[in-house]
Structures are given as structure tokens and as C-alpha cells.
């Protein structure tokens, strides 16, 4: 069990790398392939949209055939194939297709971990374990920051992606061998496990708007916009962009570990989640008002967005507490669908917004701040629950 979970963390590290590495490669890709920031916004959005679309069949697969085969096959075929296609890319269309394949490959890794936690561990520690997996796996954000910038400058971005393709294939092979399949939970006699049964849980309805917008600012900014923003506003080179993304990545890791035990410490999930997201909205508001505040002050504000935006594991724990055991796979993947789907749609929208606003980053930050505030307003009506 411990070995299998450790390897799933490695798989999730790759997932974090692939969702965030475009920010660092934006400059080289623009030079070599003539792609624009708007092209890359679409590519990044497609990764999240395909990742989200995979969650529905993924939930059924986890409940019916278990996490081992599901995760190893999807990561091995989609992840390895996507990285290889990216390394061979000659234009924006190839980048789009590669990111879509990578979205398929990365889709099962975190949910397989959450499925095992929900089926094999005490509910009270779910949020802590969920946060730890994201925190440790977010080291992929670190690899996708300064180390990738260094490797792309020294060896070229194509060679860096070929190396990542090989690593992805190796991790998928190991996962096939070591992931445990927990015992299946049977539905009550006379019933079947159906997605619509999860959709009927009204307690989840008040959480979904915040889930839709919660991760979008941190993922969108770290995954793409940090690079163009720092370059266009402060004239930052690849090395400085790598440093800024590295700081934000460390903040996101720290946030995941910080949120984990707070529900047991304060006896509430709702108010921990609400407070953190309001602080994230405040950091975005400052960036919207003063986008040219200075390189390092802006980097610190982006780090605050990453830190306070790391409440997804707590939101997942809050939602999972209302889901019956036989619907675990479908439940956690539906919650993830809203979160990742929101990132994908809003990332695509951010590209259009950036273009319509003549490259205004103030408009972009304000857009994300207002979305967070709207999600928090609906979440106020959610029912609090701890295990």
C-alpha cells in the first residue's frame, strides 16, 4: 500500500509538471514555432478540458476495475505519447494535440490516490492525506520552473521533453506493478451505482461554483500567464521567469500542506476554505490594481495566490463527506471534473480576454478575482461537515 501510494505521488508529480511547464517554455516555443501566448492559453486550456472530460469514464473505471490498470494504462499511453508528440511538434496544432494527449494521461493519477484514501483510510484524515499528495506531487511544479528553464537553454526544449517521455513511460510501468486495488464497495441490494445518484446530493450543489473557480487563478497563472506577464511588464528573461514560477510553485506546495490539518484544528472545513479563498481574491485584486508594482512584489503576490488557492484537497474532503462508499469513484471524479473543467474553460477564456484587452494583465487579474468572489458568495450557503 505505502509503495503504491508513493509511486502514485510520482505519477502526480508528472501531472503537475505537464500542467505547468508551458509558462517556462513560452519564450522558446514562440521563437522556434511562432506560437503566441493566446495559442498557448488554448493549449493549456485543452489540457484541462480533456483532463476534465476524462473524469466521468474514469470514475466508472475506478469503481468497476480499480485504480491499478486504469492509472497505468492511461498514463503510459496518453502521458508518454503526449510528451513524445510535443517533442516532435512543428506548429501550434501539434502543441494542442500533444497537450490533449497529456491531459488524458494525467487524468487518473490524483483520483486513484483519493479513491484509495476514501476506501482504505479513516475519513478524518482524508483532507490531510489529500493535501500531502498534492503537496508532494507539486514538486512537479518545481521541475517545471527553473530546472526546466535551465534544461531547455542547455539541451533544448525538445530533448527535455524526450527525457520526460521516457520518465513517464517508466513511472507508468512501475504503477502497473505496485498500485493496490482496494476491495470494491457493493451498492445496496436492488440498486446500481450511478452518476446521477451523486448529482442528486444537494449538499454538493453549493460547493460546485467555488470548485469551478477555486483552482483556476493559481493553475492558470502558474501554468501560463506568469511567463508572459513577467516578460511583458518587467522585461524578465527566462531565468527570472523561472525564479518567479519557482517561488509560486513552492507557495502552492506549502499551501497544500498548510490546509490539510486545519479542519481538525478549527473543527470546520467551510470557514477554512472560505477564508483562504477570500485572501487569494485579495491578492489578485492588488495585482489588478497595481500590475506594475515591481518584479519581486508581484512575484510575492502571485505566490499568495498560489498559497491560498491550494484549498482543493479541503474542498474535496468536504464534498466526499456527503458521498456514499459505493459511489466513491464517481463522486471524487465528479468533484474533480468541476474543478479541472473550470480551469480549462477559464484558461481558454483568459486567452480571449487578454487579446480583447490589448494585452492588459490588470484585466486578467481582475477577472480571476471577481470569479473567486462569486464562488465564495455561493459557498456561503454550503453545509459545513467534518468527519
Quote the number of domains for the chain: 2
CB atoms < 10 A from the CB of 199, how many? 12
Distance CA 172, CA 80 (A): 9
Q: Of 178, 207, 241, which marks where a domain is finished?
A: 178
In-domain check, residue 185: no
Residues 352 and 268 in one domain: yes
Residue 16: give its domain's CATH number: 1.20.1250.20
How confident is the model over 304-313, as a mean pLDDT? 94
pLDDT value of position 318: 94
- What's the pLDDT band for 260 if we cut at 50, 70, 90? confident
Grid coordinates standing for 380?
456561503
Centre a 10 Å sphere on the Cβ of residue 88 and count the other Cβ atoms it contains.
11
pLDDT above 90 covers a percentage of the chain that reads 47
pLDDT tens digit sequence for 127-142: 788 888 888 887 776 7
CA distances from residue 265 to 101, 135, 252, 262 in whole angstroms, order as listed: 40, 19, 21, 5
Please tell me the predicted confidence (pLDDT) of residue 224: 79
Looking at the domain assignment, is residue 255 inside a domain? yes
The radius of gyration computed from the CA coordinates of the chain, to the nearest angstrom, equals: 20
Is residue 185 pLDDT above 80, yes or no? no
Q: Answer whether residue 381 shows pLDDT above 60.
A: yes
Q: Could you tell me the pLDDT band of residue 219, with boundaries at 50, 70 and 90?
A: confident
**Given pLDDT bands bounded at 50, 70 and 90, which one contains residue 1?**
low
pLDDT of residue 92: 94
Q: In whole numbers, what is the pLDDT of the chain averaged over residues?
A: 89
- Which letter does DSSP use for residue 384 in this model? P
Residues 208 and 326 in one domain: yes
Dump the DSSP string for 123-153.
Answer: GGGHHHHHHHHHHHHTHHHHHTTHHHHHHHH
Instruction: Let me know if residue 386 belongs to a domain.
Output: no
Question: Can you give the pLDDT at residue 69?
Answer: 92
**Contact (Cβ atoms closer than 8 angstroms) between residue 128 and residue 114:** no
The reply to whether 249 and 118 lie within a common domain is: no
**Which segment, 22-26, 270-274, 352-356, is predicted with the most confidence on average?**
270-274
Mean pLDDT of 64-87: 94
Q: How large is the average pLDDT for residues 186-207? A: 79
Reported for 203-207, long-range contacts at CB under 8 A and 24+ positions apart, including other chains, are: 203/322, 203/382, 203/383, 203/385, 204/319, 204/322, 204/335, 206/378, 206/379, 206/381, 206/382, 206/383, 207/315, 207/318, 207/319, 207/335, 207/379, 207/382
Q: Return the HEC string of 84-104.
A: HHHHHCCCHHHHHHHHHHHHH
- The cell for 176 is 502497473
Count other C-beta atoms under 10 Å from residue 91's C-beta.
11
Say which residues have a Cβ less than 8 Å from residue 265's Cβ, sequence separation at least 6.
none
Put simply, whether the predicted model's pTM sits higher than 0.95 gets the answer no
Residues 245, 336 within the same domain: yes
Label residue 159 by pLDDT band (50, 70, 90): very high
277 and 310 in one domain? yes
Q: Are residues 372 and 227 in the same domain?
A: yes
Name the pLDDT band for 186 (thresholds 50, 70, 90).
Answer: low
Distances, alpha carbon 243 to alpha carbons 145, 207, 345, in Å:
7, 34, 28
Which domain-ending residue is among 153, 178, 203?
178
Residue 312 lies in a domain: yes
Write out the three cell numbers for 167. 520518465
**Does residue 186 sit within a domain?**
no
More confident residue, 194 or 318: 318
Q: How confident is the model at residue 285 (pLDDT cuts 50, 70, 90)?
A: very high
Q: What angle do CA 152, 48, 31 make, to 5 degrees?
A: 30
Q: Are 123 and 321 in contact (CB under 8 A)?
A: yes
pLDDT range class, residue 163, cuts 50, 70, 90: very high
Stretch 3-21: mean pLDDT, rounded? 86
Residues 54 and 149 reside in one and the same domain? yes
Q: Indicate if 225 and 327 belong to the same structural domain.
A: yes
Domain containing residue 152? 1-178
Last residue of a domain, one of 178, 208, 238: 178
In this structure, the answer to whether residues 334 and 364 fall within a common structural domain is yes
- Based on the fold, state whether residues 12 and 101 are members of the same structural domain: yes
Angstrom distance (rounded) from CA 88 to CA 69:
28
Whether residue 120 lies inside any domain: the answer is yes
Residues 34-73: b if buried by 16+ CB within 10 A, e if exposed: ebebbbbbbbbbbbbbbbbbbbeebbbbbbeebbbebbbb
Is residue 108 located within the same domain as residue 31? yes
Asked if the structure places residue 187 within a domain, the reply is: no
Query: Is residue 183, in this structure, part of any structural domain at all?
Result: no
Distance between CA atoms of 46 and 18, rounded to whole angstroms?
12
Let me know whether 352 and 246 are in one domain: yes
pLDDT at 175: 92
User: What is residue 341's predicted lDDT score, i.e. its pLDDT?
Assistant: 85
Q: What is the model's pLDDT at position 293?
A: 92
* pLDDT recorded at residue 63: 83
Sequential DSSP letters for 102-123: HHHHHTTHHHHHHHHHHHHS-G
Angle at which helices 2-20 and 109-120 cross, to 10° = 150
Amino acid at each position: 500500500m505505502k509503495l503504491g501510494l508513493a509511486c502514485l505521488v510520482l505519477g502526480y508529480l508528472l501531472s503537475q509538471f505537464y500542467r505547468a511547464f508551458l509558462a517556462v517554455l513560452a519564450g522558446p516555443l514562440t521563437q522556434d514555432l511562432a506560437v503566441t501566448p493566446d495559442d498557448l492559453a488554448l493549449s493549456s486550456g485543452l489540457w484541462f478540458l480533456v483532463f476534465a472530460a476524462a473524469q466521468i469514464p474514469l470514475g466508472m473505471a475506478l469503481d468497476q476495475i480499480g485504480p491499478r490498470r486504469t492509472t497505468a494504462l492511461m498514463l503510459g499511453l496518453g502521458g508518454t505519447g503526449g510528451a513524445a508528440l510535443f517533442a516532435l511538434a512543428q506548429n501550434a496544432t501539434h502543441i494542442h494535440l500533444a497537450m490533449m494527449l497529456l491531459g488524458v494521461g494525467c487524468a487518473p493519477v490524483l483520483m486513484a490516490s483519493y479513491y484509495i484514501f476514501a476506501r482504505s483510510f479513516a475519513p478524518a484524515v482524508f483532507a490531510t492525506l489529500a493535501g500531502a499528495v498534492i503537496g508532494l506531487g507539486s514538486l512537479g511544479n518545481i521541475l517545471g520552473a527553473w530546472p526546466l528553464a535551465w534544461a531547455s537553454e542547455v539541451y533544448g526544449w525538445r530533448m527535455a521533453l524526450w527525457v520526460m517521455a521516457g520518465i513517464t513511460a517508466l513511472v507508468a510501468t512501475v504503477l502497473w506493478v505496485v498500485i493496490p486495488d482496494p476491495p470494491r464497495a457493493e451498492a445496496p441490494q436492488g440498486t446500481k451505482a450511478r452518476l446521477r445518484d451523486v448529482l442528486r446530493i444537494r449538499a454538493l450543489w453549493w460547493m460546485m461554483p467555488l470548485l469551478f473557480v477555486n483552482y483556476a487563478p493559481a493553475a492558470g497563472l502558474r501554468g501560463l500567464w506568469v511567463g508572459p506577464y513577467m516578460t511583458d511588464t518587467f522585461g524578465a528573461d527566462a531565468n527570472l521567469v523561472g525564479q518567479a514560477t519557482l517561488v509560486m510553485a513552492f507557495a502552492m506546495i506549502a499551501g497544500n500542506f498548510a490546509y490539510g490539518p486545519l479542519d481538525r484544528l478549527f473543527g470546520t472545513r467551510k470557514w477554512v476554505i472560505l477564508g483562504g479563498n477570500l485572501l487569494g481574491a485579495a491578492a489578485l485584486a492588488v495585482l489588478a490594481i497595481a500590475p506594475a508594482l515591481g518584479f519581486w512584489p508581484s512575484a510575492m503576490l502571485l505566490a499568495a495566490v498560489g498559497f491560498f488557492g491550494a484549498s482543493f484537497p479541503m474542498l474535496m474532503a468536504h464534498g466526499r463527506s456527503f458521498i456514499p462508499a459505493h459511489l466513491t469513484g464517481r463522486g471524487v471524479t465528479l468533484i474533480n471534473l468541476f474543478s479541472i473543467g473550470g480551469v480549462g474553460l477559464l484558461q481558454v477564456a483568459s486567452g480571449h480576454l487578454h487579446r480583447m484587452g490589448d494585452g492588459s494583465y490588470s484585466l486578467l487579474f481582475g477577472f480571476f478575482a471577481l470569479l473567486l468572489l462569486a464562488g465564495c458568495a455561493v459557498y456561503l450557503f454550503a453545509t459545513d461537515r467534518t468527519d
